[in-house]
Structure 1
């Protein structure tokens, strides 16, 4: 066996998306040779996802012509050789436009290949005593989704160096189906939490009945359960969108509400972050302007220091920090959310219709954000592969007070905007008998980062007019 020594790590793309060949540095002398078969830091720097191996397998093959495959599993593999040489063949068996694509190459100990989830893997030994080594990032399970393809499939038309009728095959590999009869491996699932809330309903409308999107309500998945880590086969999920939250801002100031807010807004995200980290899941978490105290005269940046005033704000800030520990995360900070359900705009429209002249706060400033816009923004970040991190996502346009928005609602519904009486927050809550949470005076969030990522939030005034027309 001839090995080329002293090469640099070189990455080579293939005709199958995500299937990547590596030339590995091999260092040899009179005693033999040494290589770093898997070096996490270098492989990530070379553009691979963090494999997170959980198992190291070796398939030793005595004779030339031993042929195995074609097997596709719902996990990633990093394949290399310790001894010998193979002809390798890979067929894309994932659901999608590249289903059936084929790539072949030879491997020896100086080469390796990253095989993404759902790509069928096969090889034929070209030298005796070939040791085929592969790392995987999940444990075998009888409940997982597998796909198998016949080595002699006419559509794949793999040009095996040793004809299959002269090769060593197992009876099981000889009996695998042809490509036309293979059920493609689906993508990893997307789980949307809080699916019955205002944002959850908007996410349902955005994703619809896509076959690999799953919706969970509090009844179907208890985020505060100690068994959350085993509640799903989490390796089957690629994305979790956490739209679940405790949003009773004033009730969170009570002993019972405080406990519930911390459980749902802080402890549950911490548990989800651990699950996402362990299983390589991308997690999207929806946060709030209440993580800031509102004392700034400028729109808040994603990097500004957290300074919550209320229990609710404190729990949301804690949730943000927990989610940020997951390598693949998006924290979406929003404000003044309006969707399908009870909300400020609907309340004002109802008061206008009944001829009521309300007092409305005029010393809190922000922008309305419509749930359909949040849903579109989340999908944009995921589909575009935007850099992980925190993003502000609110309506765009001029900042308004609650009193300004109330006047807009009255005007757009054909009523007199002068019916609104502006009052301060202190005046509005002066007669309250239950605990009242402090509110940030400035809830305006800077949108530069999400706009640079290619998503332009809709203007708040445009969104309000559309919302009132569609909810008439």
Structure 2
């Protein structure tokens, strides 16, 4: 069978999710032929994933009927015939509703296939001196998880062109288990870093009972450790949510605080970003309204340039810039976070109960963000495969001020809201005895981009009422 010349590059989805067949242009004449076996720009534009190959392998088979498989590896591969012709059979061996689904096709130099992680692949040569190449995006490791299926499995019922009784097969391939005995390959895992903080605890609750989600506290995974690269088998992770951060805004203005803030919010983030880039991990990074100066009267959008006023904001902006260079990332920018533990709402409630009449800033505008809503929004972006990039994620509704929030707390706890006195930021910090960080006066973030993904943030005022009623 001769190779077909002059095809247009075309990618077709098979019944197995992510298993993609590609027709490849082959240019030939009396001298032979030429093709671009992998051309990143053209092929990704046609619909193939930019899977980041790191190794090119060649399998040569001198006899018709040589049969290999069925092997499912923990990496993606791009299989293309160099010479000859093969029959391929692919079986989905991943956890999920398509486990056991089968697809078969013939491949020649003008037809290739992208095989996603966990899909079993097998090949039978149909011509002598057949060679096929496969690009893979990971290196073989004895610690990796591999899954196998018997070539003669009755459930898969693959119709081999040449009977398996009459072909060359290795004893190892003949010994693979039937489908009923196969342990499906799990998806790549999710790791939550900083799992004991306010957001970390909310993420624990959000992912409670979800298989494949792991949590690490600072004691269990120190982002500043020189051993971070070997702390996990990072290729097994598909997503890392970094809930670890230095958030002592005022202390960041001191020499020790400045060092600690840069260590956690920049150097730690850079270490995670390096690991994410090397292992094709989606990194979820939490940003802050403090990256803006708050001088604009309009809500800040994701594309507004950063203009941090203090050290904390500078470190967050630097971390954002690092993460933005990753192909797979979500920068989730939030503000005025309230969660389990010490926070402004609890402080105001305590003052009300103790008979203390506070002075609270009334010239800073924003919206509250509750950590359970923040965790829910993060999971939404990851689970729905929203386009990578930066998203503002806060509560919705009318902007408010810290003084208004304090009065709401007093009211809901049965105290007179008139006990709260509104003061300017300058007045509030005029008599401060410790370091004070400059604050953005307008912390309102535009939510349109997030809402376009299908996630509707809850009204901050209603969430505050619910929080206080608990």
Normalising by the smaller structure, the TM-score range is over 0.9
Q: Does 1:64 align with 2:69?
A: no
Residue 246 of structure 2 contacts residue 261 of structure 2 at CA under 8 Å; is this kept in 1? Answer: yes
How many angstroms apart in 1 are the aligned matches of 2:431 and 2:42?
Answer: 63
Deviation at 1:231, TM superposition (A): 2.2
Aligned to 1:151: 151
Aligned to 1:141: 141
Deviation at 1:465, TM superposition (A): 1.0
Task: Give the secondary-structure state (helix, strand or coil) at the position aligned to 1:252.
Answer: helix
Deviation at 1:355, TM superposition (A): 2.2
Task: Give the secondary-structure state (helix, strand or coil) at the position aligned to 1:79.
Answer: strand
How many angstroms apart in 2 are the aligned matches of 1:191 and 1:50?
Answer: 23
Aligned to 1:222: 222
Deviation at 1:228, TM superposition (A): 2.1
Aligned to 1:368: 368
How many angstroms apart in 1 are the aligned matches of 2:29 and 2:263?
Answer: 60
- Kindly report which structure 2 residues correspond to 1:243-322, keeping only aligned pairs within 5 A, or say none: 243-322=243-322
Deviation at 1:194, TM superposition (A): 1.0
How many angstroms apart in 1 are the aligned matches of 2:114 and 2:94?
Answer: 15
Cα displacement string for residues 217-252 of structure 1 (whole angstroms, at most 9, x for unaligned residues): 110111112332332221111111111110000110
Task: Give the secondary-structure state (helix, strand or coil) at the position aligned to 2:455.
Answer: coil
Cα displacement string for residues 345-403 of structure 1 (whole angstroms, at most 9, x for unaligned residues): 01111111222211111111111000111111111111111111111111111111100
- Range with greater deviation from structure 2 (253-262 or 228-237): 228-237
Aligned to 1:331: 331
How many angstroms apart in 2 are the aligned matches of 1:462 and 1:263?
Answer: 37
- Range with greater deviation from structure 2 (90-99 or 426-435): 426-435
- Kindly report which structure 2 residues correspond to 1:411-426, keeping only aligned pairs within 5 A, or say none: 411-426=411-426
Task: Give the secondary-structure state (helix, strand or coil) at the position aligned to 2:51.
Answer: coil
How many angstroms apart in 2 are the aligned matches of 1:82 and 1:299?
Answer: 56
TM-score by length of 1: 0.98
Task: Give the secondary-structure state (helix, strand or coil) at the position aligned to 1:350.
Answer: helix
- Range with greater deviation from structure 2 (275-284 or 245-254): 275-284
How many angstroms apart in 2 are the aligned matches of 1:174 and 1:3?
Answer: 32
How many angstroms apart in 1 are the aligned matches of 2:362 and 2:229?
Answer: 45
How many angstroms apart in 2 are the aligned matches of 1:49 and 1:374?
Answer: 29
Aligned to 2:397: 397
Task: Give the secondary-structure state (helix, strand or coil) at the position aligned to 1:331.
Answer: strand
Cα displacement string for residues 152-197 of structure 1 (whole angstroms, at most 9, x for unaligned residues): 0000010111111111111100100000110110000111111101
Residue 288 of structure 2 contacts residue 334 of structure 2 at CA under 8 Å; is this kept in 1? Answer: yes
Deviation at 1:106, TM superposition (A): 0.4
How many angstroms apart in 2 are the aligned matches of 1:75 and 1:209?
Answer: 26
- Kindly report which structure 2 residues correspond to 1:335-346, keeping only aligned pairs within 5 A, or say none: 335-346=335-346
Aligned to 1:35: 35
Task: Give the secondary-structure state (helix, strand or coil) at the position aligned to 1:103.
Answer: strand
Residue 252 of structure 2 contacts residue 311 of structure 2 at CA under 8 Å; is this kept in 1? Answer: yes
Aligned to 2:86: 86
Residue 292 of structure 2 contacts residue 307 of structure 2 at CA under 8 Å; is this kept in 1? Answer: yes
Task: Give the secondary-structure state (helix, strand or coil) at the position aligned to 1:465.
Answer: helix
Deviation at 1:282, TM superposition (A): 0.9
Gaps of 5+ in 1: none
Task: Give the secondary-structure state (helix, strand or coil) at the position aligned to 1:135.
Answer: strand
How many angstroms apart in 2 are the aligned matches of 1:423 and 1:392?
Answer: 28
Aligned to 1:197: 197
Task: Give the secondary-structure state (helix, strand or coil) at the position aligned to 1:283.
Answer: strand
Aligned to 1:7: 7
Aligned to 1:111: 111
- Range with greater deviation from structure 2 (98-107 or 422-431): 422-431
How many angstroms apart in 2 are the aligned matches of 1:456 and 1:440?
Answer: 25
How many angstroms apart in 2 are the aligned matches of 1:178 and 1:26?
Answer: 38
Deviation at 1:273, TM superposition (A): 1.8
Gaps of 5+ in 2: none
Cα displacement string for residues 83-130 of structure 1 (whole angstroms, at most 9, x for unaligned residues): 111110000000111100000000011110000000000011111111
How many angstroms apart in 2 are the aligned matches of 1:393 and 1:363?
Answer: 22
How many angstroms apart in 1 are the aligned matches of 2:102 and 2:454?
Answer: 34
How many angstroms apart in 2 are the aligned matches of 1:52 and 1:457?
Answer: 35
How many angstroms apart in 2 are the aligned matches of 1:205 and 1:298?
Answer: 34
Task: Give the secondary-structure state (helix, strand or coil) at the position aligned to 1:5.
Answer: coil
Q: Does 1:354 align with 2:340?
A: no
How many angstroms apart in 2 are the aligned matches of 1:179 and 1:455?
Answer: 39
Aligned to 1:380: 380
TM-score by length of 2: 0.99
How many angstroms apart in 1 are the aligned matches of 2:359 and 2:149?
Answer: 70
